Structure 1
Amino acid sequence: MNKQKTAILFPGQGSQVPGMGKDLAEHHEAAAAVFQAADRALNEPFSELVFHGAEEELKKTANTQPALLTAGIAIWRVLQEKGVDAEYTAGHSLGEYASLVAAEALSFDEAVCAVRKRGELMEEAVPEGTGAMAAVLGMERADLESVTEEAAQTAGAVEPANYNAPGQIVISGSREGVEKAVGLAKERGAKKAVMLNVSGPFHSSLMKPAADKMEQELNGLTISPLQRTVIANVSASAYSSAEQVTSSLTEQIHAPVKWEETIQTLVDEGVDTFIEAGPGKVLSGLVKKVSRRATVLPVYDEETLNAALEKLAID
């Protein structure tokens, strides 16, 4: 265990499921305490929404974002209590806030309020139904970039939003622009191009108004020196100072998430074990597409926690 290099990863919007974190909160005081802290910070029975609320309520961006942050940090606190450490951390989009909490750059209380505001601003930025996102599979990056440029000239804003893994890129923008790009991508040889069920055109230039307002919010946060290496979404490189946090998180709202490069950066650093702290296994699957040799350990309930602890102890 001493020789391996470990990164803790936090998923973003789309991974949420009703009841996430409930099993661990029932078994571990460390997890329960995080949900209680979220209730206090947001001044509402937020844990009730996460544990027992309707899926439609949880899917609202202003709820999804603090819910995923809370679940991720609850898992991380339990892992820490069990003696698990990670020198590196990264989060997909919203998950970057959890990474910064794990690195002790942001306090949990401030972060959970910040992502609630982030969700509200992102919901407000573009009228519902006018923006869209789509996943494009099996197409080279340069080819898809030329498709989005062509579609944007005739149909409306559209651009790459998430470079998730080799052959898996999400595009984002106006509904007309995204639909046009999906059609072109299929014509140009994409294996698959499907519209996503999301509430807005995240990580596109249409989110610039939300980013401008979020910058003011971020300027009010207390940012401490990072105690772990955090790989930033917008650069796919490590933060070199706490001063970078505000500018990076602001840009992240309207810039693409360089997730494939983020994982490659961690692999190049010698990271061989990736723990995904959050519901599901989305990031674990993406890691495997970048590095087949990596050990991936998704943790989201008591069963997966015990499986991960066993694996870490064996190795």
Structure 2
Amino acid sequence: MKVAFIYPGQGAQYAGMGKEMYEKYEEAREIFERADEALGFKISKLCFEGPEEELMKTENTQPAILTVSVAITKVLLKKGIRADVTAGLSLGEYSSLVLAEALEFEDAVKLVKKRGKYMQEVVPEGVGTMAAILGLPNEEVEEICRIASEFGVVEPANYNCPGQLVISGETKAVEKAVELAKERGAKKSVVLAVSAPFHSSMLKKAGELLAEELKKINIKTPKIPVISNVTANYVEKDEIKELLIKQVSHPVLWEQSVRKMIEDGVDIFIEIGPGKTLTSFVKKIDKKKNALNVEDEKSMLEALSVLGV
């Protein structure tokens, strides 16, 4: 049985996440304490209590989700569950790198706080946005982006699962693409409530700022295979930094990454962290695959039962 640990990205957060694991498991508690110390403020309190508007700020959301994901991972590892391969959606890739011991947790949590800040600040609010297009083939959405690009930047941003592609760019161009998608019979075509055009070329500057931070970080050889969002393939130690820089302004090849893991024999996908978004994507990519999520004790016990632990 081949197991993949997969990690959610921004948007999965909610006040109360990780609290039960913190209270019940020493391994989880230690990670929250290390995060609080590394960041110099109580990210644990923000995860457990909110307020929601503070938790929703990108520079807080990113370290919060990373901390919850890593804390739960530590509990699973203690229970004897191991991953043969790992991947994370956008921000989730940092959790994968921590799991693979390519990145120290303290470095990762400080890095994603800055990553969130840069991603938020490089494009003034209102200038860019994102939209979800459901029910059209990827090729058709890519063509729509090419047509709408006469109104400004608009590009594919997240290849989530069959028939679900998120686009990103300048507000006017994204709105035009949404209109075109509706005309072409998209099941759903809607502008998202996000504060920036994530994973588009408009965030290239955020990648450059992140590059400066990455210069200070020591990357080690991953102890388990990690799949990159940018390439949907396994990463080598010497390309990790470059791919993390590119990831900010390049599309996330999530569907392709899951297909790569399936092709290489993964039987069970375990989504670790808040929410069930990736679990639903995996099921849409291949409904025969077993996809579980672990975000609290109840879901963990269900997963352990499926895994026969």
TM-score normalised by length of structure 1: 0.97
Structure 1 residue matching 2:308: 3-state secondary structure: helix
2:125 & 2:115 partners in 1: Cα distance? Answer: 16
Deviation of the 1:163 alpha carbon: 0.4
Of 143, 148, 158 in structure 2, the residue corresponding to residue 146 of structure 1 is: 143
Structure 1 residue matching 2:270: 3-state secondary structure: strand
Answering whether residue 55 of structure 2 is matched by residue 94 of structure 1, we say no
Deviant stretches of 4+, over 4 Å: none
Answering whether residue 239 of structure 2 is matched by residue 236 of structure 1, we say no
2:23 & 2:100 partners in 1: Cα distance? Answer: 25
Aligned to 2:16: 19
RMSD over aligned CA atoms reads 0.8
Q: Deviations over 1:217-253 (max 9, x none)?
A: 11211101100100100000011x2111100000000
1:173 & 1:227 partners in 2: Cα distance? Answer: 36
Aligned to 1:171: 167
Answering whether residue 283 of structure 2 is matched by residue 283 of structure 1, we say no
Of 243, 252, 261 in structure 2, the residue corresponding to residue 257 of structure 1 is: 252
Q: How do 1:1-315 and structure 2 match up within 5 A?
A: 4-153=1-150, 155-239=151-235, 241-313=236-308
Q: Deviations over 1:52-87 (max 9, x none)?
A: 121111010000000010010011000000000001
Deviation of the 1:46 alpha carbon: 1.5
2:190 & 2:279 partners in 1: Cα distance? Answer: 21
Deviation of the 1:45 alpha carbon: 1.4
Deviation of the 1:199 alpha carbon: 1.4
Structure 2 residue matching 1:164: 3-state secondary structure: strand
TM-score normalised by length of structure 2: 0.99
Deviation of the 1:151 alpha carbon: 0.6
1:243 & 1:11 partners in 2: Cα distance? Answer: 24
> Structure 2: which amino acid aligns with 1:267?
I
Q: Deviations over 1:136-192 (max 9, x none)?
A: 000111111111111111x11110000000000000001111101000111112111
> Structure 1: which amino acid aligns with 2:178?
V
The runs of 5 or more residues in structure 1 that have no matched partner are none
Deviation of the 1:272 alpha carbon: 0.8
2:172 & 2:217 partners in 1: Cα distance? Answer: 37
The runs of 5 or more residues in structure 2 that have no matched partner are none
1:265 & 1:293 partners in 2: Cα distance? Answer: 15
> Structure 1: which amino acid aligns with 2:286?
S
- Give the percent of matched residue pairs that are identical in Structure 1 and Structure 2: 50
Q: Deviations over 1:110-152 (max 9, x none)?
A: 0000000000101111001111001000011111111111111
> Structure 2: which amino acid aligns with 1:311?
V
> Structure 2: which amino acid aligns with 1:101?
V
1:270 & 1:93 partners in 2: Cα distance? Answer: 23
